[in-house]
Every structure is written in structure tokens, then in C-alpha cells.
Structure 1
Amino acid sequence: MPRIGWKVSSGVRAASVNHALIVIFLEYFGWGLLTMPMIATLKETFPDNPFLMNGLVMGIKGIISFLSAPLIGALSDVWGRKVLLLVTVTFTCLPNPLMFIHNWWFFVIASLSGVFGVTVSVVLAFVADVTTPEERLRSHGMVSATFATSLVISPALGNLLMNLFGINAVVLFATIISVMDVLFVWLAVPESLSTKGRTSISWKQVNSFRIMRRLDSDILILCLIVEPSDRSSWA
């Protein structure tokens, strides 16, 4: 069985759905805080075509995520959920502090973060590990509700903080939330996938287009409905 070359903390208690909910809330809360600063930065950096550049950034990120998501999922079956959660959360949160440094770097890294920006996929796998089939649907619904709640609350709070204290204060707050999320995964989230449950990679699993062909029309329609809600935090 392949093993990774670094150690991570085993967590402080048995894996549960609550761990997944905290991870997903903190990640999207940090992103949501930057909604209004993101719009202001887009207008400042690309005054002629701010929304075109927003579409370009999110389009690149979405395409990369589409291609990489099956591989990340397969790797989590091999190396465990905790390591892949740490990787995906770190790379998803990485662009946040870059707004302090340079706007261009923020947009470049935000685009490329799509390689590992598929935390939800790993979180759902984590939840599947710690629930019974009867509990799974309800637990996945809790993940979706937590994700939606974080995106509803955080943009309004980010806008309020920006009006009161300026963009830098919001970026600092979002960066602190991101660091908290990474530290929580590293120090507090236990591994949910037992050694016996780990498998080797089947390259058929990592072909995004093959997976798309296996989806029925109902699932495709659901994906089209859900995806705009993810992009709304940037609009």
C-alpha cells in the first residue's frame, strides 16, 4: 500500500460528521468574506473588464477542478482522507493572504488552486466513512446546509467589515480563518478511513470524462443547479 512521506496528527477524538462540518464551514466562510473585497480588487486591477476577468479566473479554476477532482478522490482512497483534506484546504485557502501582497498573484493562484480546490469531494467521502447508509443522506444534507450557510453569512459580514475598517482588515480576518481551518484539519481531524478500507488507484477512476458519461441526466441537472451557488460568492 503506498504511503505518503510525512506525518500528520491523528486528531483528538474519533472521526465524526462534526469534523467535516467545521472544515467546510471555515473554508467557505473565509472565501465568502472576500466577496466584496474581490469585487473591489477586480475593479481596481481590471477597470475595463472586471466581470470578464472574474469569469476567466473562475472558468480556469472550474476546468482544473473538473479534471483533478477524480484524482484527488482516488488519492484519498489510497492515502486517507486526512492528508487530502489538509492538502485541499491549504491550497484552497492559499490565495486569501495574497491579496495583501499583489493583486495579480491573488488571481493567478486563485485560478491554479483549482488543482486541489475540491475539498467538498473529500469531505463527502469523509462523511461516508463515519456514517451508516441510513445516516448518509441526512449527513450529506448537513454538509450542503453548512456550506450554504457559510456563503450566506460571510459576504454580508465581509462587506460590513470592509465599510468599517477597510479591505485589509477583511483580508486579515479571512486569512486568520484560513489558518484556523488548516490547523484544525492538521491537529484535530482524525483519519476516517481505516487501513483495511484503503485501495489502490484505478486509472479509470481518475478520468473525468469517463465519469461524466456514467452520470444520468438527473445528476447532471443537479450539478448545473448547484454549481452557480458556488460561483455566487464571487459575483
Structure 2
Amino acid sequence: QGVGRPSVYHAVVVIFLEFFAWGLLTTPMLTVLHETFSHHTFLMNGLIQGVKGFLSFFSAPLIGALSDAWGRKYFLLLTVFFTCAPIPLMRISPWWYFALISISGIFSVTFSVIFAYVADVTQEHERISAYGLVSATFAASLVTSPAIGAYLSDSYGDKLVILIATLVAVVDICFILLAVPESLPEKMRPASWAALVSWEQADPFASLKKVRKDSTVLPICITVFLSYLPEAGQYSSFFLYLRQIIGFGSASIAAFIAVVGILSIVAQVSFILFSVLLHSTNSLLLSL
């Protein structure tokens, strides 16, 4: 099933459509968040994102283990569906919208499944450039979508933006269902769907114990953790800060995101080239 052989380009389309849909909602989401929690906007934003991240931490090893056993396509479908499920509820019922965003953290691990998909379809020497392409595509989806969403919101209202974002999410789900071929080789899949996944594979703390014992992986994990720790907090609240504290309008926020997205694309492409010319450790130090 699917169109053609599994490739990095299938993964790129999935990532682009998912984050393009959410990028369209940048302006409406900030508005709904402030209207729903007018006195505790930053606190509730932090709680919603925190619960989502907490649930993702516990579910990611299980979904990864299941995708190793049953294939990537099913779990791409699952993660994209549940990640985008809250979108139609943004204006229908904001409380349910924010509740579903929090709960969707159980399945909001699309990047993990995408990177596994890319690893299946590439050779080891190709993976740096493939992962860079996926990351650059994520940034590219944010270059135009917030600006488009802000323009449509100002001109036609939030309901049209939410409708378009919902349709983009539906297109993404249909693309996975109809066009994305399974990347996990047949010989690596179990004989039946009843194949069990051990608790050790699903336990996030067991994974941390394994990492602690690996002298190669441990420094990498610590580096990634310390790198993403401030970045995650900034990403979850910065656009709200621009709107509520600094007073940026929708167009200014969209322009800011576009500039950051363009710089991110340039950085991803540049470091792909640097990784070829320089040692991987030097590339990592330069990127940090």
C-alpha cells in the first residue's frame, strides 16, 4: 500500500502538512487562550504544555516499541490524527480544545515516528542530511503559515482559518492513509498483531537506565536535554509574550516567526554541509 517506495519525501510531506496546519492557528490560538484564561493566561499556557509534554515522555517509548513491531504507517496515522484532533474545537468549545491538547500529548510524538521512518529508508551515511531535511521542512512550514493565518483571520475571521487548518490536517491524514508506504521491512515485523511488547521496552525510566550505562549515548542525551530545556520553555510561551507583554500585532508575530523559520532553514542546510566537512563533534559544538 502507498505510492512508490518508502522515501524521505513521504516523511517530509507529513511533517510539512501537520505543522502548516498548526502554524495557521498561531493568531487564533493566542486570541482564544487569552479569552478563555484572561487572568491566568501564562500559567494556563504553561500547565497545558507541561501536561502535554509529561504525557509524551511516558508514551513515547511505548509508541516507539509498538512501531518497531507493527510498522511506522499505523503510528504515523495515529499520532497525526490525535495531534490534530483538537483543531476543530478551537471555537466550538475552547475548554474541550485545551483539554484535548493536553491529552493529545499521549500521541504527540510524530517526530519520533518520522525519524524512525527516515532511519528505515536511508543508509547510515545519508541520515544526517535526511534528518536535516526533515528539520528544515518543519521550519519551512512555519515561514508562511502564521502569516497566511493572520491575514485570513484579520480579513475573514478565525472560523475560516480553523476550517482551513482542519482541512489541511485531513489532507495529511489522507496522505498517510493512501500515499505513504510502510517503511519497516516485512521480515522485521511479527507474524501476527498479537505480538507483545515487553514492559521494559515501554518503560521510559528503563530507557533512561540504559542511557546512563552507555558512555557514548549519555553525553549526547545530556547535551540534547540541556539544549532543549530553555528552548522548549521559550517556544511554548514566547509568542504569547510577544502578544500580551510587548504588544505585537498578528502581522508582527507572523513576520517574527517567518524570520526565525528562514534562519532555521539556513542553519539546517549549513550544518548539513558542515557535518560533511567537519568532524561530527566539531559540528555539534558549532551548532550549540
* Counterpart position of 2:248: none
Residues 1:130 and 2:121 are matched in the alignment: yes
User: In the alignment, which residue of structure 2 is the partner of 1:69?
Assistant: 60
Structure 1 regions of 5+ residues with no counterpart?
Answer: 1-9
- Among the aligned pairs, what percent are the same residue? 52
Q: 1:230: Cα distance to partner? A: 5.6
The yes-or-no answer on 1:203 pairing with 2:199 is yes
| 2: CA distance, partners of 1:233 / 1:151 | 15
In structure 2, relative to structure 1, the CA distance for the partners of 1:224 and 1:97 (3 Å cut) is: farther
Structure 1 residue 96 and structure 2 residue 80: aligned?
no
1:165 positional shift: 1.4
Counterparts of 1:95 and 1:32 in 2: how far apart (Å)? 14
Aligned to 1:220: 222
User: How far apart, in 1, do the equivalents of 2:158 and 2:146 lie?
Assistant: 13
Cα RMSD (Å) of the superposition?
Answer: 1.8
CA shift in 2, pair 1:179/1:19, >3 Å: same
Secondary structure, counterpart of 2:92 in structure 1 = coil
Where does 1:81-160 land on structure 2 (aligned, <5 Å)?
Answer: 81-160=72-151
Q: 2:8 pairs with 7, 17, 36, which one?
A: 17
* Distance (whole Å) between structure 2 residues aligned to residue 171 and residue 147 of structure 1: 20
> C-alpha distance in 1, partners of 2:189/2:237?
36
Q: How many residues align?
A: 226
Q: Name the structure, 1 or 2, with higher relative contact order (CA <8 Å, separation 6+).
A: 1
Separation in 2 of the partners of 1:207 and 1:230?
27
Separation (CA, whole Å) in 2 of partners of 1:157 and 1:68? 33
Secondary structure, in 3 states, of the residue corresponding to 2:200? coil
Distance (whole Å) between structure 2 residues aligned to residue 233 and residue 178 of structure 1:
25
**Whole-angstrom distance in 1 between the partners of 2:71 and 2:105:** 20
Are 1:161 and 1:170, in contact at CA under 8 Å, matched by a contact in 2? yes
Checking the alignment, whether the CA contact within 8 Å between 2:42 and 2:237 is kept in structure 1 is no
Q: Give the helix-richer structure, 1 or 2.
A: 2
Structure showing greater radius of gyration is: 2
Tell me which amino acid in the other structure corresponds to 1:169: L
Stretch deviating more after TM superposition (120-129 or 158-167)? 158-167
Mapped contact 2:46–2:236 kept (Cα < 8 A): no
What corresponds to 2:69 in structure 1?
78
Q: Which amino acid aligns with 2:149?
A: G
Contact 2:46 2:237 in 1 (8 A): no
After superposition, the Cα gap between the structure-2 partners of 1:148 and 1:209, relative to the gap in structure 1 and judged at 3 Å, is farther
- Relative distance call for 1:230 and 1:81 in structure 2 (3 A) is farther
Check 1:233–1:157 CA distance in 2 against 1; reply closer, same or farther (3 A cut).
Answer: farther
TM-score, with structure 1 as normaliser:
0.90
Give distance in 2, aligned partners of 1:178 and 1:233.
25
Cα distance in structure 1, aligned partners of 2:236 and 2:59: 18
Amino acid at match of 2:145: S
CA distance in 2, matches of 1:202, 1:36: 43
Using the TM superposition, give the Cα deviation of residue 136 of structure 1 relative to its aligned residue in structure 2, in angstroms.
1.1
2:21 to 23, 27, 30: 30
* 1:51-92 superposed Cα distances (whole Å, 9 cap, x missing partner): 211111100000000110010010101110000111111001
Compared CA separation, residues 153 and 232, structure 1 to 2 (3 A): farther
Using the TM superposition, name which of 199-208 and 163-172 deviates more: 199-208
Provide the rounded CA distance (Å) in 2 between the counterparts of 1:174 and 1:97. Answer: 8
Displacement of 1:223: 3.6
Name the amino acid aligned to 1:160.
Y
Deviation at 1:233, TM superposition (A): 8.2
From the superposition, tell whether residues 182 and 203 of structure 1 become closer, same or farther in structure 2 (CA, over 3 Å): same
Structure 1 56/201 Cα, relative in aligned 2: closer, same or farther at 3 Å?
A: same
